[in-house]
Structure 1
Amino acid sequence: MEIVYVYVKKRSEFGKQCNFSDHPADLNVDIPPNPELAQQYMERNPVDIGIQCSTSMSEHEANTERFEMETRGVNHVEGGWPKDVNPLELEQTIRFRKKVEKDENYINTIMQLGLVMEHCIKQNNAIDIYQEYFDDVDPVEVTEEAPSAKTISVFRDPQDIKRSATHLSWHPDGNRKLAVAYSCLNFQRAPKGMSHDSYIWDLENPNRPELILKPSSPLVTLEYNPKDSHVLLGGCYNGQIACWDTRKGSLVAELSTIEFSHQDPVYGTIWLQSKTGTECFSASTDGQVMWWDIRKLSEPTEVVIMDITRKEQLENALGAISLEFESSLPTKFMVGTEQGIIISCNRKAKTSAEKIVCTFPGHHGPVYALQRNPFYPKNFLSIGDWTARIWSEDSRESSIMWTKYHMAYLTDGAWSPVRPAVFFTTKMDGTLDIWDFVFKQCDPALSLKVCDEALSCLRVQDNGCFIACGSQLGTATLLEVSQGLCTLQRNEKNIASSIFERETRREKILEARNREMRLKEKGKTEGKDDELREEAPAIDLEQLVAKAEEEFFDIIYKELKKKEVEAMKSASLKKPRVEAEEEKEGEGEVVEEENPEETPA
C-alpha cells in the first residue's frame, strides 16, 4: 500500500514569476589602463602566501561533563502470544500452533522465509567472517615502542562513606564486566553507617554499577565462576561463604552457616576445575582452608589446618591470607600466610598431616599475593613486605629472583597472561610497577602513579592488555598497557625458561655450599666439645655452685671496700675545708666588736 500526501499551495505565494530568455552581452563600463597607477605599486617576485581554511588557534583544553547513561528494559507484549493464550501452558500453545498451521497464508510465508534463510545459510557456509587468517603467523617483535600505559576509565564507590576495594574479578565471558568487593579491613575501626554492598560494573558505563550485591557482611573477596558467568562466590568479613546468581537479583542465593564457617575474614576464594563447576575452596586468617560445594553450603566438605608442625592444632596454625591454585596441577595448592611463610599442600594426601608438603620462608610480613607463572607452573610469584619474589619448587630455601626493597609496602601482584617475563605489582604509595626481567631486572620497565591513595588490589585481563587496580578509597581504575607489554616477543619463552633454570641452578649451588659450611662448623664445634669433655676431669656440680658463690661474694666485698676507701678520702678532704671556714667566721666576729669602739657615740 503506497502512502501519498499532496501538498497544496497558491500561485500567489510563490512570488513574481521569472521569465528567462536568451540575450546578447552588453558593455556597461569600459575602464582603460592608467600607467600612472602602475607606478604606485612595487612588484615582488616570487610571492608566497600561506592560506588555510580554518582560523589559527592556540592549543587549549576543555573539560566536558560526563554523559550519564542508563539502561532500561522494555517488555513488548504485542506480536507475541495472544492475550487469551498462556505461553506457560503446553496445551494452549499446541492448540494455537495447530490453528496457525491450518491458515492458508502460513505455507506461503514459510516458503518465502525459507528462501531468505537458505540464502543466509549458504552465505555463511561459503565464508567465515570470524576466521583468523593470520593466526598461525609468528608475532612481530615489538621493541622500538617504549613501555607505556593509559587510564581508560575510573569506577568510583557510589557510597558516601568510602571503603577499600579489596578484590577484583573479571567477567569470564569476554571480560565485559568487572566485579569489585568493598570492605574495611581495619580491625574494629569500620566507620559507623558503612554500607556492606559490593558492585558489578559494566566497562562501558562507569557512572552507575550494573548490579548491586547485598551480603550480610562486607565482602573481602569476590570471584566469578569460570564455567557459569552468572554465578559469583564471595568471602565475607565475618567468615561466611556467600554465593550469588545474577539472574536471581542482588540478594544472596546460598550462604554458609556461621557455626561451620571461618572464624576470621575470608581473604581467599578460588573455584576448582570440576565437572559440575560447583566446587571451590577458601582460606582465612583463622588458619583453616575449607572445601565447599555451592549446592550445599551448610558445611564444608573438607578442612585442612595450616599447622606446619603437622600436629593439626588450630592454636598453632598460621593465618592464611592468600591462595594459589593452578588447574594444570589439580592436586596442588599453595597458601600465603600472615607470618611470611608460603605453604605448599597436596590435597590428595592420605592424612591431613601429610597434606602440608613443604614451606618456603622468605618474607618479613604477610604474603599478600601468590601466583604461578602461566607458562612455567614450577615457578611462582609472591608479594610481601617491600619485595616481590620469584620462586622455584626445586629450590625451597631461598627465592631465585627478587626485586629491590621499595620504600613503600607492596600490596598485590600478578603475572601477565600472555608474556612469561612480565609481572605487575601495586604499592602503598599508589604506584603500579610493570616488570620485564628480560628487558631490565634491577628496576621496573614502567612505573605509573595511578592515584594519590594506596592501591590495595590488582587484576589483569585474560588478553593482558587491560589492568584493573583497586584503591583504599574504593576507586577501581582501568588501565590499558602498550602493545609491546601485551604481545609475546620473539624467543621470549626460551629466554625466560633459560633465566629460570640458570637462577635455580645458582640457588642450588649456593644452598649446597651453605649446607657444607654449616656441617663443617657443626663438626668443629662437636669435636671441640668432645676434646673438652675428655680433658676436663669429673667435677661435682655442688663444687661448681660453691665456687661460683665464693667468686660472687668476693666481687661484692671488693666493691664494698672500694666504696669505704672512697668515703674516707672524701671525709679527709672535707675536714680541713670546714676548719678554714670556722676560722674565717671567727675573724669576722672580731671585726664586728672593734667597729663600735672606733665610731663616736
Structure 2
Amino acid sequence: METTFSYQKKRCQFGRQCLFSDKGPDLIDDYPGHTQWMKDFILRDPVDKSTQNAPMQSKHCVNTFRAEFSTSSMNHVEGGWPKDINIQDEEATKRYRRKIEKDDAFNPTIFQLAKTMENCILQNNAINIYQQYFDDVEPAPLIEPSSARIVSVFQDQCPVKRPISHISWSPDNGTKLAMSHCNLTYQAVPKPNESSHSYIWEMENPNTPYLVLKPESPCACLEYNPKDGNLLISGQLDGRVVIWDIRRGSDPVDHSQIEVSHRYPVLNALWITSKSGCEFFSAAPDGKIIWWDMRKLNEPLEVLIVDLVEDRLQCLSNALGVSALEYEASIPTRFMIGCENGQIYSGNRKGKSTMEKLNVKFDAHLGPVLALQRNTAYLKNFLSIGDWTARVWAEDCRESSIMWTSYHKTMLTDGAWSPTRFSVFFTAREDGIMDIWDILQQQKRSVCCIKVCDVSLKCLRCHEMGRLLAVSNSAGSTYLVELSENLTTSTRNEKTLLNAMFERENKREKILEARNREIRLKLQQQQMTEQTAEGGEKRLMNRADDDFEAKWITPEVKQAEEEYMKIVNEELKKRNLKEKEN
C-alpha cells in the first residue's frame, strides 16, 4: 500500500509574477527604548522556535467492512390461547381470563415474568422520540405557583361613581356581564347628577356597555335567567321586582305592584326550577320571602314571613331580616337563607307552616350573613361569609362549622366556590384584597392573595368555566381577574381527597357535639342536685326560726318591740319638722 502522494499544480495557478525594485527603507513606526524596562529584562538562553511557511496537508483512506442488518417483527396480540378457546368469542375469552386470574399460581408467575420483562425493556435503548408510547397514561400535573392577574376593567359610566351591589354572568358561556349599581347606605341622600342606570357589558369590550338598563329606582340586584340569556330579573331599591328583556331595549318589561312587594330594598332575587321556567323568588331585610311568576306580577305566588316563634301569630314587625339567599337547581324545593342576626336557615318549600319550612338552623356568624353558596360537587356542604370569617358547613352538623378561616383584620364582604376546582373558594375584603383558598393544600392561610384596588370590594362572581372571576368595588369598577391553570383544573384524585376530608371533619364535629351534649347534661344534673340540696337547707332553717320564735318570743317581748318602734318613728317625725322650719 502506497504512503506517498504527489501534488501537481500548473504555473497559471500560482498567480501573477512577483516583480522587485530597488527602494530605500520606509519608517513605519518607532519604539524608543526604556531604561527602567531594561533593568527588568531577563535573557532566555537557549531559545527553540520552529516555523513553517505553508500549512501542512495530508490525505489517507481506510477500507472497512459494511455490516448488513434486516428488520423483522412478531405479532403477540392474540398469542398463547388454548386450542379449545375461540379468540373471536368475547365471552369465552373473558371466562378463561377469570379462570386464570383465580389460580393460586397466577400472581407468583406474573411477578417472576415481570423481572425478566423489565430486564429486556431496560436493554432496549433505541427509542423513537417522536412516537407516543404512553397515550393512555394521564399527564402529571405541572407544579406551578398559584397566581392571578387583572385582564380587564369595567367602569361606571355615570359621573357620580356608585357602588356595584350585584354581578351576574350570562348563561351563553358567560360572554356578557350584568352589573347593578346601587348605594345601599341607610338614608343616603342622592347626589346631584346621580343616575339609577345599570349596565350589561360584553366581556371583549370594556369601553362601551352592550346595553344600558334604565329603571325608575336603582337596581339592588340583577340576575340572568339560567335558561334564556335575554331575560333578567332585578330587585329594586323601593322593594319592587322588575322583569327585563334585552330584545326590547333599555326599558323594563313589567314590574310588581308596590302594595304586594317588599318594604325594604330587595337584596336577593333568584330564578327557581319550574315547568314554565318563569318563576323566581326574592328576599329583603323586611323579613319576607316572596315567590313570583313573571307572567303575573300583580299577585305573588306565595309569601313567607321569617318569624320563627311558634306561640305567637306571624307578624312582620317580629320577622328576621334576610341578607343572603341560596338556591340549587338540582334540589328544586330546597333553599337557604342568611339572616341579619348571623343565623342560617335551611328551608323546604313543601312545609305547611313557617317552622316546617325553615326547620334547620345554624348559628353561623356574629353579624349579618353576607353570602351563601353550596359546593358544586358536594351539595351538603356550603360556604358562608359574615363578620371577619368564612366558614364551611355540613348539613349534618348544626352546632358548629367543619372548617373556618382565621379572623381577618378587615371585614369580609362576599365569597364564592370555584365551579371547576371543588376545593377552591374566593373571599373579598373591605381593604380591596381578594383571597384565594385551597382547603386541600392549607386551611390556616390563603394560597394566593391579590390586591385588586384601594377601596372596599363589594361583590365577586366566578365564570362557569372557572378561569375568570369578576370582582366589583364601591367605586363602581369591576375587575376581570384571570386565574392560573392550577387553580382551575382538577386532578384525578382531588375529588376523592376532598370527599375524605369532608367526611373526616364531619365525623370529628359529630364526636365533639356528642361530647358537648354529655357535658351539658352533667352540668344540668349537678345544678338540679344543688338546687335540691339548697331547698332542703332552706326548709330546715325556716323550721329552726319557727321553733326559736315559738320558744323565746313571748307577748311581752312583742309589745316592747312595738313600743320601741313607735318611739323611734315619733322622734324621726320631730326631726323632719325642725329641718323644714329651719
TM-score normalised to the size of structure 1?
Answer: 0.67
The whole-number CA distance in structure 2 between the counterparts of 1:480 and 1:305 is: 41
Matched with 1:296 is 296
Matched with 2:143 is 144
Q: Superposed, which structure 2 residues align to 1:165-204 within 5 Å?
A: 165-193=164-192, 194-204=194-204
The whole-number CA distance in structure 1 between the counterparts of 2:167 and 2:424 is: 20
Please report how far the alpha carbon of residue 296 of structure 1 lies from its aligned counterpart in structure 2 after TM superposition: 0.7
SS of residue matched to 1:462: coil
Q: May I ask how many residue pairs the two structures share in their alignment?
A: 423
Q: For the Cα contact (< 8 Å) 2:165–2:220, is it kept in 1?
A: yes
Q: For the Cα contact (< 8 Å) 1:261–1:299, is it kept in 2?
A: no
Between 1:136-145 and 1:509-518, the stretch displaced more is 136-145
Matched with 1:528 is 530
The whole-number CA distance in structure 2 between the counterparts of 1:32 and 1:260 is: 120
Please report how far the alpha carbon of residue 39 of structure 1 lies from its aligned counterpart in structure 2 after TM superposition: 8.6
Consecutive unaligned residues of structure 1, counting only runs of 5 or more, are: 1-29, 41-135, 545-549, 551-601
Q: Which amino acid is the alignment partner of residue 264 of structure 2? A: D
The whole-number CA distance in structure 2 between the counterparts of 1:306 and 1:138 is: 54
Please report how far the alpha carbon of residue 473 of structure 1 lies from its aligned counterpart in structure 2 after TM superposition: 0.5
Please report how far the alpha carbon of residue 152 of structure 1 lies from its aligned counterpart in structure 2 after TM superposition: 1.1
Matched with 1:305 is 305
Q: For the Cα contact (< 8 Å) 1:139–1:488, is it kept in 2?
A: no
Q: % of aligned pairs identical?
A: 48
Q: Which amino acid is the alignment partner of residue 379 of structure 2? A: P
Q: Quick one: which of 379, 399, 405 aligns to 1:377?
A: 379
Change (3 A) 1:319 1:424: same
The whole-number CA distance in structure 2 between the counterparts of 1:454 and 1:284 is: 23
Q: For the Cα contact (< 8 Å) 2:307–2:354, is it kept in 1?
A: no
Deviations 1:354-381 (A, max 9, x none): 1111110120111110000010000000
Please report how far the alpha carbon of residue 249 of structure 1 lies from its aligned counterpart in structure 2 after TM superposition: 0.5
Matched with 1:229 is 229
The whole-number CA distance in structure 1 between the counterparts of 2:19 and 2:358 is: 111
Between 1:532-541 and 1:397-406, the stretch displaced more is 532-541
SS of residue matched to 2:469: strand
Q: Superposed, which structure 2 residues align to 1:380-529 within 5 Å?
A: 380-529=382-531
Matched with 1:321 is 323
TM-score normalised to the size of structure 2?
Answer: 0.69
Please report how far the alpha carbon of residue 433 of structure 1 lies from its aligned counterpart in structure 2 after TM superposition: 0.5
Q: Which amino acid is the alignment partner of residue 246 of structure 2? A: T
Q: For the Cα contact (< 8 Å) 2:308–2:354, is it kept in 1?
A: no
Please report how far the alpha carbon of residue 156 of structure 1 lies from its aligned counterpart in structure 2 after TM superposition: 0.3
Please report how far the alpha carbon of residue 221 of structure 1 lies from its aligned counterpart in structure 2 after TM superposition: 0.6
Deviations 1:10-43 (A, max 9, x none): xxxxxxxxxxxxxxxxxxxx99999999998xxx
Change (3 A) 1:451 1:328: same
Change (3 A) 1:357 1:138: farther
Change (3 A) 1:33 1:494: farther
The whole-number CA distance in structure 1 between the counterparts of 2:20 and 2:273 is: 96
Matched with 1:95 is none
Matched with 1:219 is 219
Matched with 2:352 is 350
The whole-number CA distance in structure 2 between the counterparts of 1:264 and 1:350 is: 26
The whole-number CA distance in structure 2 between the counterparts of 1:426 and 1:386 is: 11
Q: Which amino acid is the alignment partner of residue 265 of structure 1? A: P
Change (3 A) 1:531 1:252: same
SS of residue matched to 1:536: helix
Change (3 A) 1:201 1:454: same
Q: For the Cα contact (< 8 Å) 1:235–1:266, is it kept in 2?
A: yes
Please report how far the alpha carbon of residue 308 of structure 1 lies from its aligned counterpart in structure 2 after TM superposition: 2.3
SS of residue matched to 1:266: coil
The whole-number CA distance in structure 1 between the counterparts of 2:332 and 2:351 is: 13
SS of residue matched to 1:273: coil
Please report how far the alpha carbon of residue 352 of structure 1 lies from its aligned counterpart in structure 2 after TM superposition: 3.4
Q: Which amino acid is the alignment partner of residue 255 of structure 1? A: H
Matched with 2:243 is 243
Matched with 1:284 is 284
CA RMSD of aligned residues (A): 2.8
Change (3 A) 1:138 1:493: farther
Change (3 A) 1:360 1:385: same
Matched with 2:368 is 366
Please report how far the alpha carbon of residue 490 of structure 1 lies from its aligned counterpart in structure 2 after TM superposition: 2.4
